[in-house]
Structure 1
Amino acid sequence: MDVGTRETVGELLGRMAAGDHDRTAELFAEPIDWQLDWPAEGHPAVPWIRARSSRADVADHFGTLEQFHVPELNATEVTRILVDGPDAVVLGTIAQTTRGGRAYTSAFALHLTVEAGLITRFHIYEDSLSVLRAHK
């Protein structure tokens, strides 16, 4: 049975919230069309913001993100999920605290594409400059 877009997005969000990086990565196709909006070339203060293409890369992304933040202080809120066929857009606000104690908030939009029950596109748009500043 082919899992629908909305169900796959719901499963993704649940696994991300649970912090199970390997199980989260299982939801992604290989290769994955992955994009974080800035800085495209990467920056040592935010090593998770870089190109990714495989399930191992996806697991590493979420693991690295967790290494730099206090998971217990994550207050990410999803305000809307829009689905149109294989595409979904998740809107919300990310509220994180760095391991150094700096809190930051950023609105986000996550564009996903789901094909045959796997995520083939993961493009997230957020205020990455605020994220970088919180980690410098």
Structure 2
Amino acid sequence: MTTNAKATATTRDIVQELLRRIGEGDFERIAELFAEQSDWRFNWPEEGHPSVPWIKPRSSRRDAAEHFRMLTAYHVPELNGTSVTRILVDGGDAVVLGDLVQTVKATGRSYTSPFALHLTVEDGQITRYHIYEDSLTVARALSDDSITS
């Protein structure tokens, strides 16, 4: 097996394990998959949005656990219908495509957003977590106000 083929296999395994742990809601075990320092990016303004408290700068393993803990705290886990439609892997990079389907606890509003998650795995740990989603749809579901911009 070539070096790239080994990296691809390892990357796919780590990504599938991450998705499994996210589904189980095991925050500390999710965080164990991340490098001590990692590159996080959300397709939101750097400062996030006041209605979406889990969207903020992150870079550590501890941040990873907090991120997923906050996602669960603000949503109704039993109504999560998020699905993955494809996982593309090339060496240490992976792209996960799917649809987020969540219901916000505070407002009772549901939302659906396509997403793309770009991950990089190095030495068996996630070093990049970049997620792209319909941020306006998410903010509207979490806000009591009508968000127009």
What is the aligned counterpart of 2:137 among 127, 130, 133? 130
Using the size of structure 2 for normalisation, the TM-score is 0.88
Number of residues paired by the alignment? 135
Instruction: Please state whether the residue corresponding to 1:63 is helix, strand or coil.
Output: helix
- Higher Cα Rg: structure 1 or 2? 2
Name the structure 2 match of 1:25.
31
Q: In the alignment, residue 95 of structure 1 is paired with which amino acid?
A: V
Instruction: Please state whether the residue corresponding to 2:132 is helix, strand or coil.
Output: strand
Offset at 1:50?
1.0
What is the aligned counterpart of 2:125 among 110, 118, 122? 118
Instruction: Please state whether the residue corresponding to 2:30 is helix, strand or coil.
Output: helix
Name the structure 1 match of 2:18.
12
Cα distance in 2, alignment partners of residues 55 and 130 from structure 1? 28
Alignment of 1:87-106 (within 5 A): 87-99=93-105, 100-106=107-113
Query: Deviations for 1:64-91, whole angstroms, at most 9, x for unmatched residues?
Result: 1111100000000100000000000000
Alignment of 1:49-64 (within 5 A): 49-64=55-70
Structure 2 residues not aligned, in runs of 5+: 1-6, 144-149
**Which consecutive segments of 4 or more residues in structure 1 shift more than 6 A?**
none
Structure 1 residues not aligned, in runs of 5+: none
Using the size of structure 1 for normalisation, the TM-score is 0.96
